[in-house]
Structure 1
Amino acid sequence: MAALAAAVVLFPPPASAAAGTAGAGPPLETPVPELAAAVRCSPDLQDAATTPVLLVPGTAEASEHVYSWGYQKALREEGRPVCVLDALPGQGVGDIQTTAEYAVHAIRHMNDIAGRKVSVIGHSQGGLLAAWALRFWPDLPARVDDVVSLASPYRGSGFADVTCAAGVCPAFAWQFRPSAAWVGALTREPFPEGPELTSIGSRTDELIWPAPAATAYPGEVNVMVQEVCPLRAPGHMTLLADATAYALAQDALANPGAADPDRVGSSSCGEVVFDAVDVAGMTRLLGLAGGLAEAVLTAPYTTAEPPLRAYARE
């Protein structure tokens, strides 16, 4: 774990980055130093021989807790350059339209440094941030190869309806509701041409439901791990270690187009976690990522969904 942490460094954004994105969608409201401070990249990004991968955590998660023992470790062992968003600003409980700016900056930064397309893996809100960024910043689709999401509610989740039932809840929960204006803005148009989206979910996810409708982005691949291995039962957090979810993610990264369950086959069905998982690290760190309930309870509450910004209105 210590060696893995030592292997990531923070690259300063190139001076040309801001100028190169002029006119490429809505101006970013978050100061660039704040956006840059959230991204850590492996040293080989600037000499990338394979597609680099950006790992985006979800609400109330830190990348160390959800990726260092699994996806980050596995991708680095494959020789892929990896960048992580350390954590979402304010634990990701605020307006997703602000939080998404961190994904916009990270994708541009990686592409500028590597000089090649990047792929994005996001858990829960992390997948939504990537999709929102690609929908509304027109320079990004040409910079991205694959987006792979794990338990990301593109169509909203019933859990958010329950959370907001009293008429007050955090901003992100308003935006997670199936009826939210934010959800409507995200999904009213097809996913941008170029990048491939693979949405991976579980019918036993206790937070993202109903399945499979909640994780569906219209027109894109939406696959439940139970379609590959019917007896699997990963929850929202354990999907991060699930061998079948990982096999689907790897299939998307390794092949043209989105993941293909038929191509993946049943070879992962006899495994609980994928091979590269550091089980001791997972046991120690994954529990620290289960802070959603505390984040919701301690977040600023509002009585309405944040208004859509001008760029996202019809």
Structure 2
Amino acid sequence: MQFQHHAMGVCLACIILTSSVAFSASIPRNALPPTTDLDLITILDNGANNPMEGNEWLSDIASSIVSNLTGIRTQDESVQSTREKIENLFAYGHLNIPEAASMVASSGLVSSEILSFLNGFLNQSLNSIHNENQASSNIDIYPLKSEADAPYSVREDDLRAAIHIPNSFSYGKNGKKPLILVPGTAIPAGTTYHFNFAKFGNAVPTADVVWVNIPGSSFSDAQVNAEYVAYAIHYISSISNANVAMLSWSQGGLNVQWALKYWPSTRSVVDDFIAMSPDFHGTIARALVCPLLETVICTPSIWQQGWDTNFMQTIREDGGDSAYVPTTTIYSTFDEIVQPMIGDNASAIIRDIRGVGVTNNHLQSICPGKPAGGVYTHEGTLYNPLAWALAIDAFTHDGPGQPDRVNMEAACEQFLAPQLELDDILGTHGLLLVAVAGLLVYMPKTTAEPKIAAYALD
């Protein structure tokens, strides 16, 4: 059966490519069915009623989320009242993903319409890792584009099938340039960007938006996740005969940076790298650092994103903490997942020792006391008006996004990007519910950080 956007298969694979469902009626590893009756509520409910040993804490949170989602109604709030609710929820302290999701559910910050969309995320073609992207004899990018590149460990067919190309994609025609969206931890790319940057073409008509559905919802080894990014850069650039721009969220920033570092041939075809809430230096938030974090939540990539892990030390060394292409970072003090996100030691900051052009944009410093400089969470940057203005500026100019080219009065005085609506705020925060579902089903959890790839040790 062929789905819209050239996607085949089932989105369950987006979360558990090499996993089994952690419930009594489990699906054998690597034996995923072509269709599934599982949905967001079912996963959360099963997690609440069938806790595995040691995850009673996560089970209790899942139970609370399900209880709070029962009977929700159509959202009739305004952007202003939603802003006030978000400020009350996230202005104090830092949380882990399940606790943040529980707060979102208990606050009524998800409407019935949004929940209906999120509930079916497993079966949405926009999240498929089985897309029918044709191989081309004219594309010489695998197994190596350049002798300087790291080797791939993933089959080319799988790398290519993870790229979602919408029907609207123009393949470089009409002066358009591809924008490749790279997801963060725990949420498939299609769902991640549905309420925000998948709509970037409405703001910039010359942008051709595509995205990479990294298997395992980016829970697996970040070094392997980066292979999908490196391949996507070359594949999309080649079929479009054009350079590309990259836009990432969260761990996606690390995946792009790792790809640029260890697949240096990618740098010549990437014009811009726009990183939303990146953790280039990991996080020191105790609630998100393994092994301090409950072992039931420790997945390979979550483990790797602690500030002092082997992975973080490896990506930072030899100038890896500095940009390889023009880079725009956008981050918020109130990030509930990555910390610190303020001052000279903010995790999102990237250096510019190569002189390629970098701007590090702290929302609260640029728009102090203004709506756009208010309480924006890890996911909230995805609908922030200044973030959108800077992304637009970066995409439409040479070099990184520059605040002095942006209409700061207009950007700072708004709470929501003008290209978006109230439902986009609600849906973006609803992503946390999908993240909890991903944590419940991803198997196996890990008790140690993955080994550094041999190519990064040379």
By the TM > 0.5 criterion, same fold?
A: yes
Equivalent residue in structure 2 for 1:249, among 369, 385, 391 = 391
2: distance between equivalents of 1:302 and 1:284? 30
Secondary structure, counterpart of 2:194 in structure 1: coil
Deviation at 1:180, TM superposition (A): 1.1
CA offset digits 1:6-29 (Å, max 9, x no partner)? 9x9854232233457253512211
1: distance between equivalents of 2:218 and 2:284? 19
Equivalent residue in structure 2 for 1:36, among 129, 138, 160 = 160
Counterpart amino acid of residue 400 in structure 2: A
Equivalent residue in structure 2 for 1:17, among 127, 140, 144 = 140
CA offset digits 1:32-70 (Å, max 9, x no partner)? 121111112243024261321001111122233232232
| Residue 270 of structure 1 pairs with residue 413 of structure 2 | yes
Relative to structure 2, which stretch is displaced further, 180-189 or 142-151? 180-189
Counterpart amino acid of residue 63 in structure 1: A
1:77–1:268 distance in 2 versus 1, CA, 3 Å: closer
| Residue 308 of structure 1 pairs with residue 308 of structure 2 | no
Deviation at 1:261, TM superposition (A): 2.4
Deviation at 1:294, TM superposition (A): 4.1
Equivalent residue in structure 2 for 1:218, among 351, 374, 382 = 351
Asked if structure 2 preserves the Cα contact closer than 8 Å seen for 1:51 and 1:119, the reply is yes
Matched residue, 2:328: 198
- Counting matched residue pairs gives 310
Counterpart amino acid of residue 208 in structure 1: V
Q: Cα RMSD between the aligned structures?
A: 2.7
Structure 1: give runs of 5+ residues left out of the alignment: none
Matched residue, 1:111: 237
Matched residue, 2:339: 209
2: distance between equivalents of 1:225 and 1:285? 18
1: distance between equivalents of 2:390 and 2:132? 30
Counterpart amino acid of residue 310 in structure 1: A
1:108–1:124 distance in 2 versus 1, CA, 3 Å: same
Relative to structure 2, which stretch is displaced further, 236-245 or 67-76? 67-76
1: distance between equivalents of 2:437 and 2:289? 16
Instruction: Note the 1:173-192 alignment, pairs <5 A.
Output: 173-190=302-319
Matched residue, 1:96: 222
| Residue 55 of structure 1 pairs with residue 197 of structure 2 | no
Matched residue, 2:208: 81
Structure 2: give runs of 5+ residues left out of the alignment: 7-125, 353-357
2: distance between equivalents of 1:72 and 1:102? 19
Relative to structure 2, which stretch is displaced further, 40-49 or 135-144? 40-49
Q: Of the two, which has the highest radius of gyration?
A: 2
CA offset digits 1:186-221 (Å, max 9, x no partner)? 121335776211111100111011113211223343
Matched residue, 1:228: 366
Q: Percent identity?
A: 27
Relative to structure 2, which stretch is displaced further, 43-52 or 25-34? 43-52
CA offset digits 1:76-99 (Å, max 9, x no partner)? 5522111111x3211111110111
